[in-house]
């Protein structure tokens, strides 16, 4: 494919982790990748590495609008796919989540994605095809203790994406949810920052649990069991882009497959016991 006829894919959150890996993988596969990041220094680094890159902050409507206008101007109003990816996890017990912290979580992980998707859909309808690929999570369908804000944002994303898929039936625009379990990235480091910024651990009923939670978030050496590299997500994204029948859901990692099955089989109370044990194991790492 030459750049002129290469399929354009817009990706959010390309400064690190999954976004960066998918941007690299798709670029080397011949896609015209527009790799966005929210910080200027990261945009410059991406440009230096040979990407087409723009600033896009998902918590800022003006930034979303400006980035998309620029993308469409560059591509002549065409965009084959949007990979909604940029996001973070706000750890903390539900009772310790301020409205401000919960709103901030939704601004980035949910409303920002929705805003971008809404702006992209008319372009896809006009061109008669498109792919909206949502980087959800195993935590988009099961819950863990101290992940309430993140769980809620990803559950909301799953609901909205499932509805959108029904509404796009009969078109050649496909909505796919990618559901990774643990993936190597800067996710924990960024979650730790959000924890420190927004949770009053000292005065919390959960302060003892927070000590081990923080230890785990700060420890870059120990990975949760079954952690995979970001390339495992790339593989699913490629299928979602290139299959004539992309799947509504792509599981990634053993925990996703395992919990996907258990969620369908087990009564809620039994599943709860398993999830409490899993939360405990997570906190202990
Ligand atoms: N890693 C996992 O185990 C895992 C599992 C399931 C799902 N996911 C999902 O995968 C996606 C990517 O996460 P990751 O694992 O690759 O973690 P990561 O390395 O922390 O990358 C997150 C990316 O999102 C960006 N981001 C954060 N806030 C943003 C904002 N306001 N506007 C635009 N971009 C923003 C970050 O940019 P900055 O560098 O500027 O902060 C970074 O580029 C997330 O949606 C996450 O929920 C991850």
pLDDT tens for 71-97 read 999 999 999 999 999 999 999 999 999
- Residue-wise pLDDT for 126-172, tens only, equals 999 999 999 999 999 999 999 999 999 999 999 999 999 999 999 99
Judged against a pLDDT cut of 90, whether residue 19 lies above it is answered with yes
The response to whether residue 58 sits with its C-beta less than 6 Å from ligand 1 reads: yes
Could you give the 3-state DSSP secondary structure of residue 37? strand
Concerning whether 210 is annotated as a catalytic residue, the answer is no
Distance between CA atoms of residues 249 and 60, nearest Å? 28
Cα 69 from chain centroid (whole Å)? 22
Of the residues 31, 88, 146, 150, only one is catalytic, namely 150
Pocket mutation for ligand 1, best pick of 101, 155, 185, 194 (most atoms within 8 Å of C-beta): 185
Task: Report phi then psi at 177, rounded to 5.
Answer: -105, 125
Closest CA to 147 of 275, 271, 259, 261: 275
Whole-structure pTM value? 0.97
* CB-neighbour burial class of residue 144 (10 A; exposed 0-12, middle 13-18, buried 19+): buried
| Nearest ligand 1 atom to alpha carbon 186 | 19
Query: What is the percent of the chain with per-residue pLDDT over 90, rounded to a whole number?
Result: 93
| Nearest ligand 1 atom to alpha carbon 233 | 10
Pocket mutation for ligand 1, best pick of 12, 14, 17, 85 (most atoms within 8 Å of C-beta): 17
**Pair 165, 128: CB distance under 8 Å:** no
Distance between CA atoms of residues 128 and 113, nearest Å? 21
Q: What share of the chain is helix, strand, coil (3-state, %, to 5)?
A: 55, 15, 30
Query: With bands split at pLDDT 50, 70 and 90, how would you rate the model's confidence at 198?
Result: very high
**Pair 241, 11: CB distance under 8 Å:** no
**Pair 168, 174: CB distance under 8 Å:** yes
The protein residue whose alpha carbon is closest to atom 37 in ligand 1 is 13
The response to whether residue 124 sits with its C-beta less than 6 Å from ligand 1 reads: no
The chain-wide mean pLDDT, for the chain, equals: 96
| Nearest ligand 1 atom to alpha carbon 21 | 16
Ligand 1 centroid from CA 116, angstroms: 16
The protein residue whose alpha carbon is closest to atom 46 in ligand 1 is 87
The response to whether residue 227 sits with its C-beta less than 6 Å from ligand 1 reads: no
The response to whether residue 179 sits with its C-beta less than 6 Å from ligand 1 reads: no
Write out the DSSP string of 50-72. T-EEEE--TT-HHHHHHHHHHHH
Closest CA to 241 of 49, 87, 71, 22: 22
Judged against a pLDDT cut of 60, whether residue 109 lies above it is answered with yes
The response to whether residue 84 sits with its C-beta less than 6 Å from ligand 1 reads: no
Question: What spatial distance separates the first Cα and last Cα of the chain, rounded to whole Å?
Answer: 46
Q: What is the pLDDT of residue 220?
A: 83
Judged against a pLDDT cut of 50, whether residue 285 lies above it is answered with no
Ligand 1 centroid from CA 205, angstroms: 29
The response to whether residue 187 sits with its C-beta less than 6 Å from ligand 1 reads: yes
* CB-neighbour burial class of residue 124 (10 A; exposed 0-12, middle 13-18, buried 19+): buried
């Amino acid at each position: 494919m030459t750049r002129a006829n290469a399929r354009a894919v817009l990706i959010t959150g390309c400064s690190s982790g999954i976004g960066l890996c998918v941007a690299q993988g798709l670029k080397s596969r011949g896609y015209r990748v527009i790799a966005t990041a929210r910080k200027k220094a990261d945009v410059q680094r991406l440009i230096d590495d040979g990407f087409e890159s723009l600033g896009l902050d998902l918590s800022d409507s003006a930034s979303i609008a400006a980035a998309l206008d620029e993308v469409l101007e560059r591509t002549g109003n065409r965009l084959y796919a949007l990979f909604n990816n940029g996001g973070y996890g706000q750890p903390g017990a539900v009772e310790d989540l301020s409205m401000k912290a919960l709103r901030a979580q939704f601004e980035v992980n949910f409303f920002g994605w929705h805003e971008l998707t809404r702006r992209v859909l008319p372009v896809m309808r006009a061109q008669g095809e498109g792919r909206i690929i949502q980087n959800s999570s195993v935590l988009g369908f099961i819950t863990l203790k101290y992940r309430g804000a993140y769980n809620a944002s990803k559950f909301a994303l799953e609901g909205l994406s499932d509805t959108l898929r029904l509404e796009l039936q009969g078109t050649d625009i496909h909505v796919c949810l990618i559901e990774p379990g643990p993936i190597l990235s800067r996710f924990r480091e960024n979650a730790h920052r959000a924890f420190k910024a927004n949770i009053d651990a000292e005065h919390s009923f959960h302060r003892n649990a927070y000590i081990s939670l923080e230890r785990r978030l700060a420890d870059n050496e120990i990975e949760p069991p079954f952690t995979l590299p970001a390339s495992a997500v790339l593989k699913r994204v490629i299928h979602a882009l290139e299959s004539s029948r992309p799947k509504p859901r792509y599981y990634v990692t053993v925990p996703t497959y395992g919990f996907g099955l258990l969620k369908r089989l087990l009564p809620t109370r039994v599943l709860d016991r398993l999830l409490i044990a899993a939360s405990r194991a997570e906190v202990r790492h």
